Structure 1
Amino acid sequence: MERRAKLLELDLFRAICILSVILIHATSFATVKMTENNLYGVYNFLNIFSKFGVTSFIFLSGFVFFYNYYPQPLTAAKFKTFYRNRLLYILVPYFLFSAFYFLLRWYQNKKPWDLSDLLPSFGGDLLTGQAYTHLYFIFITIQFYLLFPIVLLLFQRFKWLAASAVILGIVVQWAFFLLNREYWQVPIRGSWSLTYFGHYFLGAWLGIHYDRIKSWLIIAKENITRSKIILWIIMWGLCLSSGFIYVSMFYRAKIYGTRFTNLQYDGLWDIFTLLFPFLLLQVCFLLGKRIQTTWWVGRLNHLGVVSFGVFLIHPLVLLVYRKFPVNGGSPWIHHLWYAGGFFCALFISWIIVTVMSRMSWSWLLFGNVSSQLKGPTQPQRTVEAPPSTPSSSA
């Protein structure tokens, strides 16, 4: 069976997500150190609202996998190719960057270079995605890679499971939340795939039923009806209002000491992050019409292609940048310094990945970004996009 056409708008989706991830990391210090500043609310908003990035990447993984693979039988050859690509283009970069960041932290903490201590510690961090703060996401992605063939076979065999994927994912997710709170107390809950089952299965459901759903999702003159407009207004209103309330909860907790329950945090986070990918897809399909004609949209598309590499490198840029903090002076100097961290992390990482991707061995660090950059950019392109992770992922 012929592979379904690649949706070029998904690179715009990745680009916006990677911008949100960098924004989270670039404002993290400010949410701790700028609490007395009049603009703390802005930093809090940028940091908390941008949490849609990680969950939207997970949604995108589910969407792309099932959009590409659900219509086809999962043969032994496809199974082998699927895992070979993930091994080469995800696990190899993950191992190399984990080793690099781990050794960097080991050096910073001035620990003795004793292999009997170093190797077990590295092994533990590698197997849990804790070698550096952002690598937990790839650890989550690997968990979904392992689950994917099983879930695909179940969805292909039992159509009712595929039809109820969203409900199934949310039920599993919330069962994990409740059981973990009452009994398990798993440390670092956000590093486990069960936390994101609702988002992954929502993406899977959309990927399976995309051809039937797209007319209700894509905003275009030929699609507009009164019922669709009402649906879009409700969706946007519920998503944005839940996001703003979620942001305000963190602000009130930090500034006024207001206490909220886990149910309130998790509930609003789930509503916000489950709906946001639909809003983002609508925006990207509107922008996608201008990829070939508008310079900044084309650059945004390019950022989406290289986003996996940008994801892996940008914490290093921030680490170096923060070695040169500003001391004293006008508050605006501090605001400019935080803004500079974001732009340096974005553009320096972007340039490094773009330049290095021209080298034949770049797949060791950035997966198959090189082949994506060399490929055509016309809508009829049907090759599979790179594996899913904050960027060159799905």
Structure 2
Amino acid sequence: MSTKEMKEVYWLRIIACLSVVLTHAVSKVLTDFSVTGDERVAFRTLQMILLYGTPMFVLISTMVMTHAYKENIPKGFLKKRIKYILVPYFVMATFYAGDKFYRFDWTISDFARELGYNFMGQWHGYFVLIIFQFYLLHLLFVKYMKRFKAKHVLTVSLFISVGYWVSLYFYWIDYVHHSSYLTLFFSRILFVGWFFYYVVAYYCGRNYERFTRILNRNGMAIVFGTIASLGLVQYIFHSGILMRVTSARFDVIPYTVLLFFLFFFFVSKVKKLPRWVISINGYSFGIYLLHPFVQTMVSRVGPFTETTEFQYLMIQFMAGVVGPMVLIYILSKWPFSAFIVGKTTLRTRKKVFKETEKSKAA
């Protein structure tokens, strides 16, 4: 296992987490307010900017994994992740189905159907299923991937992922009229569409020092590439070519990867890791899982008749961050909390605190 820790991932997890929360806060504004005209366009534009959130989690998780385990997978690798990532996935999937059962006065049959859909990834936690497929793939790739040239693997994987989403949206979903909704949700959990993210993160994590040197040499190119790729995403959406507001899009792939590089480049320049970054980072998985529930509870408290759309956006955003942190803190007092919202990594935070203090004294 690698001994050099990537402090940048603490920042990146927070950025990805907060971006997802803000995305869903925008959705609440569009749902709870009659937003039309240019204002609606502005909110949709903001959502399109934030679509990198979920795939960035895939990049971060894979990069951390490949950096830590370059050659061999330790014993208990999958067991630990099943306990603290997959089990919370199923627990929270059940919780969200139960929440709808209560709020909508559903029958047991309705609850069972929703539970089945959630288990298959028809809720915001679907990225866990994607990451787990890459955990399994890594067991193979860690042995065989180094036999091939990186540029060849990157090129092939890019064509696979882009080709998958293009064929799905333009040649498949439109013709599956009676099951397009289920097809959309089921298809997005298959690793194929996210394969390029895995390959990019694999090489970045495996060659961390070289990766940071390349970023430092190509900072301006990354900036311009990110701007251009975001422009492409906005053009494809607003021109009506593809109007699905989802991170499972072919045009989001280059945008997310370049933005990941850009964020990594900037946060790598920050020498000291603030305590608040380490603290929030420990709650990031739980925030991801719980924030839609908290935001739904806030919307039910209304009406927010005296509140502007922007004020409501900020209320939902803050609620989506602070609310889950409070719930996670309370749950952490329970003996089985790690199986509900994952580990809060209290020990890890204490360890990093000590390392940060040492770096300050040096």
> TM > 0.5 between the two?
yes
Question: Normalising by the residue count of structure 1, what TM-score does the alignment of the two structures yield?
Answer: 0.77
For CA contacts below 8 A with separation 6 or more, give which structure has more relative contact order.
Answer: 1
How far off is 1:125 after superposition? 2.9
1:277 aligns with 2:260: yes
CA RMSD of aligned residues (A): 2.8
User: Partner residue of 1:139?
Assistant: 129
Map of 1:260 onto structure 2:
241
Change (3 A) 1:3 1:40: same
Deviation (angstroms), 1:88: 0.8
Give the counterpart of 2:213 among 212, 215, 239: 215
TM-score, L = length of structure 2: 0.84
Quote the offset at 1:372 in angstroms: 2.7
Structure 1 stretches lacking a partner, 5+ long: 219-227, 253-257, 292-296, 382-394
Could you list the runs of 5+ residues in structure 2 that have no partner in the other structure? 177-182, 358-362
**Residue of structure 2 equivalent to 1:237:** 224
1:1-394 residue pairs with structure 2 within 5 A? 2-31=1-30, 33=33, 35-36=35-36, 39-70=39-70, 72-74=71-73, 78=74, 80-113=75-108, 118-119=111-112, 122-126=115-119, 128-130=120-122, 133-156=123-146, 158=147, 160-162=148-150, 164-180=152-168, 181-182=170-171, 186-188=183-185, 189-218=187-216, 228=217, 231-247=218-234, 249-250=236-237, 252=238, 258-260=239-241, 266=249, 268-287=251-270, 289-291=271-273, 297-326=274-303, 328-329=305-306, 333-370=308-345, 371-379=347-355
Q: Quote the offset at 1:241 in angstroms.
A: 2.9
Residue deviations 1:78-114, cap 9 Å, x none? 2x41111111111111121111111111222322235
Percent identity of equivalent pairs: 20
Aligned-pair distance for 1:349?
1.3
Q: Residues of 2 paired with 1:171 and 1:8: CA distance?
A: 31
Contact 1:325 1:337 in 2 (8 A): no
Between Structure 1 and Structure 2, the one with more helix by share is 2
With over 3 angstroms needed to count, the CA separation of the structure-2 counterparts of 1:365 and 1:73, relative to structure 1, is same
Cα contact 2:165–2:250 (8 A) shared by 1: no
Provide the C-alpha distance between the structure 1 equivalents of 2:37 and 2:157, rounded to a whole number of angstroms. 41
Matched residues in 2 for 1:162 and 1:378: separation?
37
SS in 2 for 1:7: coil
- The 1:178/1:48 distance shift into structure 2, 3 A limit, reads closer
Equivalent position amino acid for 2:55 in 1: T
Q: Over residues 341-363 of structure 1, what are the superposed CA-to-partner deviations in whole Å (9 max), with x where a residue is unaligned?
A: 11111112123324433544321
For residue 191 of structure 1, give the secondary structure of its aligned residue in structure 2. Answer: coil
Contact 1:165–1:202 (8 Å) recurs in 2 = no
Partner SS, residue 124 of structure 2: coil
Q: After the TM superposition, which parts of structure 1 deviate over 6 Å for at least 4 consecutive aligned residues? A: none
- Contact kept, 8 Å, 2:14 with 2:284, in 1: the verdict is yes
Give the partner amino acid of 2:264: L
Q: Cα distance 1:199–1:322, how it changes in 2: closer, same or farther (>3 A)? A: same
Q: Which amino acid aligns with 1:240?
A: I
Report the 3-state secondary structure (helix = DSSP H, G, I; strand = E; otherwise coil) of the residue aligned with 2:300.
coil
Q: 275-284 vs 40-49, which deviates more? A: 40-49
Distance 2:287 2:356 in 1: 27
Measured after TM superposition, the shift of residue 64 of structure 1 is 1.3
Count of matched residue pairs? 341
